[in-house]
Amino acid sequence: MREIIYNSSSPLADPHAFGQAIGDDVRAVLRVGRQLFVRNLRVQYRQSVLGYLWLLAPPLFLALTWTLLSKANLLQGKQPTVPLPLFVLTGIFLWQGFVEMLNSPLQQLTAVRATLAKVRVPHEAFVVAGMGVVVFNLLVRLLVLGVVMWWYDVGWHLTLLWVPLGLAGLLGLGLGLGWVIALLGLLYSDVANALGLLINMWFLITPVVYVVPTRYASVLSLNPVTPLLTTTRNWLLTGQLQPTPGFWPVVGLAGASVLLGWLAYRLAQPHLIARL
């Protein structure tokens, strides 16, 4: 059995060994991550009566609630150019994918916290398995959304071809932030408790269930999720090709955050294991 000793010296002190360790881990991540992904899918709702219906029940209930509030004029503002229930449901499905990806690294690594310090398994394998589940859940919801779009007789647009880019931006931003949250969350339990509160506040300042008010457009544009979500929803529903201002910089930010977030976690990994 190969014994690995972690110490406080920076992994970047020996770049060659650091790169070689990453190369060795890539192969293990792909193999172990796939096995964990299949296992996670099987056990996700194993003891549930409704099973995979829980993929849809919470967002559908949330969409129904916000739609009823809007129809009762409790929420004032501009009306969308597509049927309101479809507009709200699309926003919630996209938001749900982002949030699940944001939470996934911390949830996956916390679940195997006791194992991480004892068994030499690349931590990325657990995160990759969680990413697979998030993507699977999102694809199921998009299939349901396709049926709802057909029900409301929403036409198919060429902009649908751009939707994967919008989804990649949303999930990438969630993953990049998720790496940093996992890093902090494994050190301090307060992070997990505060994350739920933060997400609830973030939901309210993101145009998930409402059209961006002109009065607050400049403020809401500071929220990086806003251009990704609104652009992807437009590509899905309205055929508007022009992205929301800020979309391309945020896509670049999402890609950089994935790389930098992962690198920060990787460099801090020896210290994390010492604290677990």
Residue-wise pLDDT for 115-157, tens only, equals 777 777 788 889 998 999 999 999 999 999 999 999 998 888 8
Q: Report the distance separating Cα 252 and Cα 172, nearest Å.
A: 10
Asked whether the predicted pLDDT for residue 177 surpasses 60, the reply is yes
Q: Report the distance separating Cα 268 and Cα 47, nearest Å.
A: 36
- Mean predicted confidence (pLDDT) in 4-21: 68
Where are the chain's structural domains? 31-70+77-275
Report the predicted TM-score, pTM, of the whole model to 2 decimal places: 0.86
pLDDT at 179 (0 to 100)? 93
pLDDT at 55 (0 to 100)? 74
- Mean predicted confidence (pLDDT) in 28-50: 76
Backbone angles phi, psi at 45, to 5 degrees: -130, 35
pLDDT at 252 (0 to 100)? 95
Q: Which residues have CB under 8 Å from 76's CB, separation 6+?
A: none
Q: DSSP string of 207-261? A: TSSSPPPGGGHHHHTTSTHHHHHHHHHHHHHT---SPPTTHHHHHHHHHHHHHHH
Residue found by looking up tokens 């902090």 in the block:
184
pLDDT at 234 (0 to 100)? 95
Q: Report the distance separating Cα 226 and Cα 223, nearest Å.
A: 6
Half-sphere exposure of 138 (CA within 13 A, CB side): 23
- Mean predicted confidence (pLDDT) in 157-179: 95
Spatial contact of 49 and 142, defined as CB atoms under 8 Å apart: no
pLDDT at 9 (0 to 100)? 64
Tell me the pLDDT of the chain averaged across its residues. 85
Work out the angle at residue 273's Cα, subtended by the Cα atoms of residues 268 and 276, and round it to the nearest 5 degrees.
125
Radius of gyration of the chain (CA): 20
| 242 or 122, higher pLDDT | 242
Q: Report the distance separating Cα 268 and Cα 146, nearest Å.
A: 42
